[in-house]
Amino acid sequence: MKKIVCPDEVLLVFDAMTGQEAVTVAQEFHSRIGVPGLVLTKMDGDARGGAALSITSVTGIPVKFIGVGEKIDGLEMFHPDRLPPGYWVWGM
């Protein structure tokens, strides 16, 4: 597929509400095609993207973009330093 399409970059997209099974999926994709980054959608909802932390920890794949809306302009570059303090802490 890469020979036909010749992509500049292949990103793996996950719904922020995806559970820990996302880690297994990401490992498999990364081992087969080499995924350089993640896109995490639905970050404007209740989900905090805990699976993304696990994926990054286990595979080293960084989150590059987050989706915070239903349209293309809702796709933003991910800047972890812009999140409020304690955002990734569960049970707050």
Please give the domain boundaries of the chain with CATH numbers for all domains. 9-79 (3.40.50.300)
Q: What per-residue confidence (pLDDT) applies to 91?
A: 38
pTM, rounded to two decimals = 0.77
What the block records as the tokens of 21 is: 């099974």
Order across the sheet with 63-67: list the strands. 11-15, 37-41, 63-67, 75-77
Q: What per-residue confidence (pLDDT) applies to 90?
A: 46
Average pLDDT along the chain, 92 residues, taken 10 residues at a time: 82 86 91 91 74 85 89 88 60 36
The 3 state secondary structure assigned to the chain is: CHHHHCCCCCEEEEECCCCCHHHHHHHHHHHHHCCCEEEEECCCCCCCCHHHHHHHHHHCCCEEEEECCCCHHHEEECCHHHCCCCCCCCCC
Q: What per-residue confidence (pLDDT) applies to 65?
A: 92
